[in-house]
Chains A and B, each alone.
Chain A
Amino acid sequence: MASALTLLRRLYLSIYNWIVFIGWFQVLFLALKTLKESGHEHVYNAVEKPLLLAQSAAVLEILHGLIGLVRSPVSSTLPQIGSRLYLTWGILWSFPEIRTHVLVTSLVISWAITEIIRYSFFGMKEAFGFAPSWHLWLRYSTFLVLYPTGISSEVGLIYFALPYIKASEKYCIRMPNKWNFSFDYFYAAIIALGIYVPGSPHLYRYMLAQRKRALSKSKKE
């Protein structure tokens, strides 16, 4: 009984990881193709569908962590997925004026390469039980470049979207109301930018520690 469940779990996770891998592969392919053929202004339109699907699917990973299907702690996946969903839905999808910005290209390419490596790595481990050492190396080394490029793109896009956020009044709740509550999406975006200041070095340091652990462990084996 127990081994049937383990098999089911492996089957499910394999399918999940490889499907999302294909999604991100599409994103990268279309991004590079469009960049070459039409220019950076058209990249978002070309990648929108697979991007929205692949990025939103990541919500399932929170569920996986909560029910114990995978080992990653919810406390580290939540902020990561949160920031991705914020950029994808809260900035790019909500404010079309920002979609033609060149940082969209650097953003989706950084994300796509990272995710392609990550999902294929997990897909390999779940389906075949192992992943080659070069794959492990890629997973724990590409972030050294892609985190700075990705994070700079995220921060840049939020910053350049600010005027559009302020003008549109989107997602804002105003007073007066019974609960004396208000929400200003513009100020929330400023706070989000503020979080990147301590958040980014913290995340980068965490990944460096993970890298050290993972690569030294594989050396010992």
Chain B
Amino acid sequence: MKVSLVSRSGREFIKGGLELNDSATVADLQEAIHKRTKKFYPSRQRLTLPVPSGSRERPVVLNYKKSLKDYCDGNENSLTVVFKDLGPQVSYRTLFFFEYLGPLILYPVFYYFPVYKFFGYKGDVLPVHPVQTYALYYWCFHYFKRIMETFFVHRFSHATSPLSNVFRNCAYYWTFGAYIAYYVNHPLYTPVGDLQMKIGFGFGLVCQLANFYCHIILKNLRGPDGSGGYQIPRGFLFNIVTCANYTTEIYQWLGFNIATQTFAGYVFLVVAASIMTNWALAKHRRLKKLFDGKDGRPKYPRRWIILPPFL
């Protein structure tokens, strides 16, 4: 069949279109486009069906696994597809690795090296309180865990992320990492009481373990190649809250802050929690819309979104 490729402005993107097998899949189309236009590898392509002009509907995005036939509206011999360049892409693994590497390396710098001399502090500048040492272990364990999960647990669907997100995300993680590390390891740091410290780190560790288990559950919802699409998560905390993984992550940071008590740490907690809440609202909404109980699909059960009893 003949596939005509147009840009969003209507201009013909590949002159003369492409000729493909009648049984070809969208992935085959992506390969064919890549062959003709070296620059646009498949993860950079966003292919949609044309939307009638004036219509306010969101365009249908072509799924790489489906056959092109599925998108032919009656006319089996030709198909018009709209192409958009998503810009240079990186895999989620690459993105996550670099954004987590920063905090893992920067924090120990503030602990082990006399950096505070550069901020004008003279004399004894290295950390002396036990809580500062435990905070170092806790923090580094957290980001080490995240990196391990990135490579061995998380199952990413075909998804990639724009290259610009590398700079944006690294700026976020690395800046906050340095900001918090500066205060916890500061020569004039004031520790909290012993009991509060133990409660904070203890609670945080339990939440980190719970968070790990949540990630295992989410991983098992998908096949090893990332297939499976959206499923209703079940078991453990997912029975009560949709984004139990975010919940445990937020509470884990709360534990860290109860133990270390810095303004910087709490700012990070609030910002991270609001970012995750945005994600959770979108995910919950998406799952409820998908699992509406019609056409044999299960109905999405009543659950908290992210932070019982608030949301």
Chain A residues with CB under 8 Å of chain B are: 175-182
Contact = CB atoms under 8 A, between A and B. Distances in A.
A177 to B, nearest CB: 7
B269 to A, nearest CB: 13
B190 interface: yes
Given A175-B189, A178-B190, 10 more contacts: A177-B190, A178-B261, A179-B261, A180-B183, A180-B184, A180-B190, A180-B260, A180-B261, A180-B263, A181-B264
B262 interface: yes
Contacts of A179: 261-263
Contacts of A180: 183-184, 186, 189-190, 260-264
A180 B261 CA distance: 7
B188 interface: yes
A145 B261 CA distance: 49
B263 A176 contact: no
Contacts of B183: 180-182
Nearest to A176: B188
Tell me the dominant secondary structure on chain B's binding face: loop
Interface residues of B, number: 11
Contacts of A182: 183
Contacts of B190: 175-178, 180
A177 B261 CA distance: 11
A178 B196 CA distance: 14
B261 A176 contact: no
Interface of B: 183-184, 186, 188-190, 260-264
A175 B186 contact: yes
Contacts of B264: 180-181
A179 B190 CA distance: 8
Contacts of B261: 178-180
Nearest to B184: A180
B262 A181 contact: yes
B68 to A, nearest CB: 40
Contacts of B262: 179-181
Contacts of A181: 183, 262-264
B263 A175 contact: no
A181 B263 CA distance: 5
Nearest to B262: A180
Nearest to B192: A178
Contacts of A177: 190
A179 B261 CA distance: 6
A179 B258 CA distance: 11
Contacts of B260: 180
Contacts of B184: 180
Nearest to A178: B190
Contacts of B263: 179-181
A173 to B, nearest CB: 10
Q: Which 9 A-B pairs have the closest CB atoms?
A: A181-B263, A175-B188, A180-B262, A176-B188, A176-B190, A179-B263, A180-B183, A180-B189, A180-B190
A24 B7 CA distance: 51
Contacts of B188: 175-176
A63 B190 CA distance: 40
A24 to B, nearest CB: 37
A175 B262 CA distance: 11
B259 to A, nearest CB: 12
21 contacts: A175-B186, A175-B188, A175-B189, A175-B190, A176-B189, A176-B190, A178-B190, A179-B261, A179-B262, A180-B183, A180-B184, A180-B186, A180-B189, A180-B190, A180-B260, A180-B263, A180-B264, A181-B262, A181-B263, A181-B264, A182-B183
A182 B264 CA distance: 9
B268 to A, nearest CB: 13
B194 to A, nearest CB: 16
A163 to B, nearest CB: 16
Most buried by B among A175, A177, A178: A175
Nearest to B267: A181
Contacts of A175: 186, 188-190
A209 B44 CA distance: 30
A175 B188 CA distance: 6
B106 to A, nearest CB: 18
Nearest to A183: B263
A10 to B, nearest CB: 34
B167 to A, nearest CB: 13
A198 to B, nearest CB: 13
A83 B190 CA distance: 34
A70 to B, nearest CB: 28
A177 B262 CA distance: 10
A177 B192 CA distance: 11
A178 B183 CA distance: 12
